[in-house]
Chains A and B, each alone.
Chain A
Amino acid sequence: MITTRPSPSRTDSVAGDVETPALKTDSITKSYGSNLVLEELSLEVQNGEFVSLLGPSGCGKTTTLNIVSGFLQPDSGAVQIGGVDVTHTPAHKRDSAVVFQNYALFPHMTVEKNIRYGLKAKRVPREELKERVAWALRLVDILELKDRYPGQLSGGQQQRVAVARSLVMRPGILLMDEPLSNLDAKLRAELRLELKALQQDLGQSVLFVTHDQVEALSLSDRIVVMNRGHVEQVGTSREVYEHPATVFVARFMGVENVFELTRDNDIYQTAGGLHFPSRLMGPEVSAVGIRPSMLRTRAEPVEGWTGWASRGEIRSVTYLGDTVRYEVAVGDETLAAISSDTHSVLDPGSTAYLHASPESLLPLAT
């Protein structure tokens, strides 16, 4: 459905070159009373880049967006949009546009008027204005809805209007605050694909807020993982997923088996008695993570295995259709393992041998 026309020229926004990022926040700090919500938060969105701000509820994602869009003032730090410092510029004079979580469409205006609302403020000439509105309506495939009021639209349609209303401004940076979270799973997946295609076609720089890792992984060029107001890790989807840097990121990315380590000569140990030979790890590792799907669970030890292996006892078995999930006790620790071998399922109470290749042992900072 993406029917991209040549986009109207961006005469009225700062033409970006490769060097100046579309958005840059420079160690912004914000607290509410004694509650430190953002701590020296720095991030960048390059031109045409799709960056996700990923983190659990309450970690400060919306606060960051509010500071970038100008609804909140940071206590310290600076915000640049298209290379221009806008830290003290009021919201209505910034080259950013927000797609709000609740869409915030004007209920007393038709779809078309909603989309025109911001353009008229920019004093776009009449002809161009018409052209751009039509372009935006077609872009998100809502041309036939243009005379309806927001109250007469479904959630997904409202979401499209909200996106069109922001995109028609051709903002230097498009900010989206969990724009898909009010939709059902199927529609979310659909709109995700459309959104990504649209963003790539337009080369639109986007900062996308979400607490859903799948959403972030599938949409983003880069992901900024946030925890309690600071950045834990920045990287491509692959980097963040395959090489989480910290215990927090690992857990957030579905690494269920995370253990803190202490070193004893050639052996790293966990409090519950797991052992990891140091030749398999790095020199200075304070925690290790293993994805359940990376653990091989067998009734007998694998001959000639050079990676990590350990003996344990099956505590529980959960059949999940494509896979089987085991909880395996080793010493005082319990590990989760997911096996795709659904034919020879081990029984609870039986002995099991866990195997992990050296690459699947993720060294983590605490």
Chain B
Amino acid sequence: MNRSRTLTVIGIAAFIFMLMPVFIVMWVSVTSSQFIAIPPEGYSLRWFKSLPENRSLMGGLWYSTWLAVLVSIISVTIGAMAALALGKRRMRGSGAIGGLLILPLILPSIIVGIAIYIAFFQLSTTLGMRLVPSTSALLWGHVLVTLPWTFRLLHSGVVTLGDNLDKASRDLGRGALYTLWHVNLPLLKAPILASFIFAFIFSFGNLEISLFLIEPGGITLPVAMIQYAHLGMDPSLAAIATVQIVLMAVLLWLAGRFVNVGRVMQRT
């Protein structure tokens, strides 16, 4: 075997290894038995059909969905404002601020979770009101971890756009707000939609921050799955995981229609 053939084989093996969990989860989700087993004793969709009656998992699914939508809206809004402020003109220090906004990407989320918890807890005692755990703390925690992604995507969009068209618009008698609405935002549609999807994906899948900040009655799907697993594994977990996998795949495909996903992930 020559060298490139060997590399190809290793590459395919690594790929299969990486996707193994996905295959396994999807595989066991279509079992007909009561228990998780590989290979399944028989095949059926019964665990998917019974999902809607599973209150804890379904509750988590809806809660996470709404949370992710809200988080995405806030994160894209803040990210867009920061990107427009920093990307339009070269100011002293804009590079540094841009760098700082990306920093949270390399911090383990658990640290961010602890930090937010401590900060909100301190604030609670100072203000004399309970801020953690709470839905709003959770919301801001998620915004915080998704912001580097939305900012990065939007910033590169804004930089590509440049300020030529802003000048043209102003020259033709249009103020800043009109220019933003009719020139910048329409032309940033692709990065806005893509960053919305990315924020959604990262919020939806986040466990570490949620663990610290959720309040009773507001349980996100990943946390709900852990709690469910503690009570005993059954194929419902595999079914809900499969639902999640399909949802993420669809979203990534959608995002890929607006931006080059591979490039976004690379430039960390």
Residues of A at under 8 Å CB distance from B?
A: 69-71, 90-93, 96-98, 100, 102, 104-108, 117-118, 121-122, 165, 169
Contact = CB atoms under 8 A, between A and B. Distances in A.
A104 B165 contact: yes
A102 B164 CA distance: 8
B52 interface: no
Given A118-B171, A122-B173, 6 more contacts: A71-B170, A92-B174, A92-B175, A96-B171, A100-B167, A117-B174
B173 A106 contact: no
B169 interface: yes
A104 B173 contact: no
Contacts of A122: 173
Contact of A100 (B168, B173, B175): B168
Contacts of A69: 171
Nearest to A108: B186
A91 B170 CA distance: 6
B38 interface: no
Given A106-B183, A107-B187, A108-B187, A117 B172 contact: yes
Interface in B133-167: 164-165, 167
A340 B170 CA distance: 53
Given A106-B183, A108-B186, A121-B178, A97 B172 contact: yes
Give the interface centre of B164, B170, B178 by most chain A CB atoms within 10 Å: B170
B-side interface size class: 10 to 19
B186 A118 contact: no
Contact of A106 (B165, B171, B175, B178): B165
B139 to A, nearest CB: 33
B171 to A, nearest CB: 5
Interface string B25-47: 00000000000000000000000
Give the interface centre of B164, B168, B174, B175 by most chain A CB atoms within 10 Å: B168
Contacts of B171: 69-71, 91-92, 96-98, 118
Nearest to B175: A92
Given A107-B187, A108-B186, A121 B164 contact: no
Give the interface centre of A92, A96, A165 by most chain B CB atoms within 10 Å: A92
Contacts, number: 55
Interface of B is mostly: helix
A98 B167 CA distance: 9
Contacts of A102: 164
Interface string B186-225: 1100000000000000000000000000000000000000
Interface in B224-244: none
Contacts of A108: 186-187
25 contacts: A69-B171, A70-B171, A90-B170, A91-B170, A92-B170, A92-B171, A92-B174, A93-B173, A96-B171, A97-B171, A98-B171, A100-B164, A100-B167, A100-B168, A104-B164, A104-B167, A106-B165, A107-B187, A108-B187, A117-B169, A118-B174, A121-B172, A121-B178, A122-B173, A165-B172
A12 to B, nearest CB: 10
A71 B167 contact: yes
A247 to B, nearest CB: 36
Contacts of A100: 164, 167-168
